[in-house]
């Protein structure tokens, strides 16, 4: 309950501050819903940058954050009445949609999904919250523990834009980590509302309702609402950016263009992927005007967006020498990175999608053109990607079983079912604009990394267009209307069933009926982490192998696998003693190995051999672990070798 109160207080503060900021910048829409969503984005962005400033100054403490939030609330207090009235009107509109709207069944389904995912957001993060436990929540916890924001050289993701992680860090600094995931859930709600608003404002009210339902029932989107990732703010900002851009195309008021740029810039401050949408809309500005004024507007669009997100990229440049670290290594280079790591990183990204990628050494020997169009990028695989993405979800996500992939990281069937209907009807301008914006983003996704989650921010941009297809189907043919409504109803029930498979067990913890320790008990990752927490001194430092999810550790740690960074100079390691000396050089006192993914210590490979020899020489002392911690192996680094 405390976490919920903290989230509400921070969200209301962001709402007030954002409303005041938009008013001062003369970018405040007259429509309550547009103004409210834009203000929430602006307010969160401003507070995120203020928290960044505190963290860089070494003041990431609960009392400094409390003062910052109090001053932010005072700065926006003048807008409190407007914000409360907007909330009241939004509540009245929602009640009308749920009680009297012809599409109230769709709105009830969306509401139920939002509530179901709220339980997941309230529950402690499970190991399936992989990136949250490895990166987003984990780095926030480390920064809150250290009371400052500093480079985490073992994790290149810590150099990415991190607006949402600032709120995660604040939750941990306040000692209420349970509030962290609520910020991601909240942006999921805003993304659904922004989709409905875009459809209603640009096309038709029913298009907004259908579009919101399509988004909410997309398994990959719904699952994200309950975990500590950063995708949903990027989606929210993208939809709002496109909404205001489309209004600018239709109404030709430049303030709408600047508001669009601010939203898109905010999105790039949450996730680097937002730079792609920035490039597309800046180019669209030039195409829309086709004159010198268009060039100036396009340049100004980029300038406004970079003004909003620029601090994150400047920070990365100062810390690493590369504003988009670790990407574009050939151009910028980057601290603690290398050409070999960059090549390995690119190869791993190319492996997602339908089609098997040749081994890296074989790929590097191929002619450039053949190598470029190999594996998932073979011409036939590229052509059939929409179909493959719909019916073969496991190929486009991290290793998951078929059920897990369908339940948590698929797009579902309705996108492929509805978007082709667009070809049957005369498309209004906003629908055409959405499709043209999607096209380059989709081609970029095909070429860069065919991960379902990375497509969602682009796919949701055309959700109102998909909703419009459902509206037109109803208008043109009773038979087609019955088919579309029936398919959507069946899929909604199935989607809810898939969600309950993983949310159901989280509901008792989300309601506070089960203590977090009891809820997580029996999870091997949690058990192994807790054993390290209880069996090691407070100043211990743990080297993790094949296990980046360090969130549950209350000790300092690093990702020790060679591909992550140059912290450990493996090129200088020729023996177990060399490896032990490298560990000691950077302060490592303990080693934790995920034996389920790490090669058997009796096997081959230089690193495996050196670790085995370190155990045999007494440089690594095995720690006693319980059966619940399997398959994790825990070791203590000894001062000197001994006989065994």
Inter-axis angle of helices 478-503 and 463-476, to 10 degrees? Answer: 140
Segment 359-394, tens digit of pLDDT: 988 888 889 888 889 999 999 999 999 999 999 999
Task: Say what the pLDDT of residue 290 is.
Answer: 82
Task: Say what the pLDDT of residue 186 is.
Answer: 97
Task: Say what the pLDDT of residue 609 is.
Answer: 92
Contact 38, 22 (CB under 8 A): yes
Task: Say what the pLDDT of residue 75 is.
Answer: 94
Tell me the pTM.
Answer: 0.95
| Average pLDDT of the residues in 399-421 | 89
Segment 124-149, tens digit of pLDDT: 999 999 999 999 999 999 999 999 99
Task: Say what the pLDDT of residue 563 is.
Answer: 85
- For the cut 50, the answer to whether the pLDDT of residue 329 exceeds it is yes
| Average pLDDT of the residues in 532-559 | 96
Pairing outcome for strands 620-622 and 632-637: antiparallel
Handedness of CA 214, 219, 225, 229 (dihedral sign): negative
- For the cut 50, the answer to whether the pLDDT of residue 38 exceeds it is yes
- For the cut 80, the answer to whether the pLDDT of residue 618 exceeds it is yes
Q: Is 321 left (phi over 0), alpha (psi -120 to 50) or beta?
A: left
- For the cut 60, the answer to whether the pLDDT of residue 642 exceeds it is no
Task: Say what the pLDDT of residue 573 is.
Answer: 93
Residue 577 confidence class, pLDDT cut points 50, 70, 90: very high
Return the DSSP state at 218: -
- For the cut 80, the answer to whether the pLDDT of residue 286 exceeds it is yes
Q: Which two tokens stand for residue 51?
A: 């928290």
In terms of Cβ atoms closer than 10 Å to its own Cβ (0-12, 13-18, 19+), residue 49 is: middle
The mean of the pLDDT values for the chain is 93
Return the DSSP state at 162: -
Percent helix, percent strand, percent coil in the chain, to nearest 5: 70, 5, 25
| Average pLDDT of the residues in 518-535 | 94
Task: Say what the pLDDT of residue 70 is.
Answer: 96
In terms of Cβ atoms closer than 10 Å to its own Cβ (0-12, 13-18, 19+), residue 517 is: exposed
Task: Say what the pLDDT of residue 423 is.
Answer: 82
Alpha carbons 625 and 528: distance in angstroms, whole number: 8
Query: Among residues of the chain, what percentage have pLDDT more than 90?
Result: 81
Residue 643 confidence class, pLDDT cut points 50, 70, 90: very low
Task: Say what the pLDDT of residue 93 is.
Answer: 87
What φ, ψ does residue 109 adopt, rounded to 5°?
Answer: -65, -45
Segment 98-126, tens digit of pLDDT: 988 899 999 999 999 999 999 999 999 99
Alpha carbons 561 and 568: distance in angstroms, whole number: 9
Residue 641 confidence class, pLDDT cut points 50, 70, 90: low
Segment 458-496, tens digit of pLDDT: 999 999 999 999 999 888 888 888 999 999 999 999 999
- For the cut 80, the answer to whether the pLDDT of residue 644 exceeds it is no
Task: Say what the pLDDT of residue 640 is.
Answer: 67
- For the cut 80, the answer to whether the pLDDT of residue 545 exceeds it is yes
Task: Say what the pLDDT of residue 513 is.
Answer: 92
Alpha carbons 598 and 336: distance in angstroms, whole number: 23
Segment 199-214, tens digit of pLDDT: 999 999 999 999 999 9
Q: Which two tokens stand for residue 274?
A: 């937002």
Task: Say what the pLDDT of residue 278 is.
Answer: 97
In terms of Cβ atoms closer than 10 Å to its own Cβ (0-12, 13-18, 19+), residue 552 is: buried
Task: Say what the pLDDT of residue 422 is.
Answer: 84
Task: Say what the pLDDT of residue 599 is.
Answer: 85
């Amino acid at each position: 309950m405390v976490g919920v109160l903290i989230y509400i207080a921070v969200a209301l503060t962001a709402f007030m501050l954002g409303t005041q900021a938009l008013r001062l910048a003369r970018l405040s829409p007259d429509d309550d819903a547009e103004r409210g969503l834009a203000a929430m984005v602006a307010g969160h962005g401003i507070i995120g940058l203020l928290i960044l400033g505190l963290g860089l100054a070494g003041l990431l403490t609960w009392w400094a954050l409390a003062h910052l939030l109090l001053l932010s609330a005072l700065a926006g207090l003048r807008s409190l009445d407007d914000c409360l009235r907007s909330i009241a009107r939004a509540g009245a509109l929602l009640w009308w949609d749920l009680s009297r709207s012809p599409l109230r069944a769709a709105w009830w389904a969306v509401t139920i999904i939002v509530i179901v995912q709220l339980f997941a957001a309230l529950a402690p993060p499970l190991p399936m919250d992989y990136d949250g436990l490895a990166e987003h929540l984990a780095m926030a916890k480390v920064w809150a523990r250290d009371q400052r924001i500093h480079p985490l050289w073992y994790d290149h993701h810590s150099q990415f834009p991190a607006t949402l992680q600032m709120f995660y860090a604040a939750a941990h600094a306040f000692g209420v980590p349970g509030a962290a995931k609520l910020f991601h859930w909240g942006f999921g709600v805003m993304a659904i509302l922004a989709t409905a608003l875009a459809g209603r404002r640009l096309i038709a009210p029913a298009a907004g309702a259908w579009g919101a339902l399509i988004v909410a029932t997309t398994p990959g989107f719904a699952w994200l609402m309950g975990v500590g990732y950063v995708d949903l703010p990027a989606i929210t900002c993208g939809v709002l950016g496109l909404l205001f851009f489309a209004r600018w195309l239709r109404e030709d008021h430049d303030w709408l263009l600047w508001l669009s740029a601010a939203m898109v810039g905010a999105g790039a401050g949450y996730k680097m992927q937002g730079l792609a949408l920035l490039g597309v809309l800046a180019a669209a500005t030039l195409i829309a005007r086709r004159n010198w004024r268009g060039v100036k507007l396009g340049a100004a669009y980029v300038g406004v967006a970079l003004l909003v997100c620029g601090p994150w990229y400047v920070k990365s440049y100062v810390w690493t020498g590369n504003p988009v670290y670790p990407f574009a290594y050939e151009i910028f280079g980057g601290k603690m990175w290398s050409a070999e790591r960059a090549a390995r990183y690119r190869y791993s990204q190319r492996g997602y999608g339908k089609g098997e990628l040749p081994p890296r050494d074989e790929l590097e020997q191929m002619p450039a053109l053949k190598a470029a169009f190999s594996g998932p990028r073979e011409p036939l695989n590229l052509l059939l990607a929409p179909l493959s993405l719909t019916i073969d979800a496991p190929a486009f996500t991290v290793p998951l079983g078929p059920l897990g992939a369908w339940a948590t990281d698929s797009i579902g069937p309705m996108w492929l079912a509805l978007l082709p209907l667009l070809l049957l009807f005369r498309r209004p301008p906003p629908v055409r604009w959405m499709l043209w914006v999607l096209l380059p983003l989709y081609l970029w996704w095909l070429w860069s990394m065919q991960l379902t989650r990375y497509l969602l921010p682009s796919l949701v941009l055309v959700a109102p267009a998909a909703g419009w297809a459902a509206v037109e189907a109803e208008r043109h043919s009773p038979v087609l209307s019955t088919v579309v409504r029936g398919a959507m109803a069946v899929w909604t029930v199935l989607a809810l069933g898939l969600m309950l498979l993983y949310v159901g067990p989280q509901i008792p913890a989300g309601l506070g009926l089960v203590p977090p320790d009891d809820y997580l008990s029996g999870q091997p990752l949690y058990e192994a982490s807790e054993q390290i927490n209880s069996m090691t001194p407070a100043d211990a430092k743990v080297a993790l192998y094949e296990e980046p999810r360090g969130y549950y550790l209350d000790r300092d740690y690093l990702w020790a696998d060679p591909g992550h960074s140059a912290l450990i100079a493996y090129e200088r390691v020729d023996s177990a003693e060399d490896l032990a000396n490298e560990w000691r050089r950077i302060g490592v006192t303990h080693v934790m190995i995920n034996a389920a993914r790490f090669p058997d210590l009796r096997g081959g490979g230089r690193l495996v051999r050196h670790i085995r020899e370190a155990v045999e020489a007494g440089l690594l002392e095995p720690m006693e672990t319980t059966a619940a911690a399997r398959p994790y192996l825990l070791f203590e680094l000894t001062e000197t070798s001994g006989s065994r």
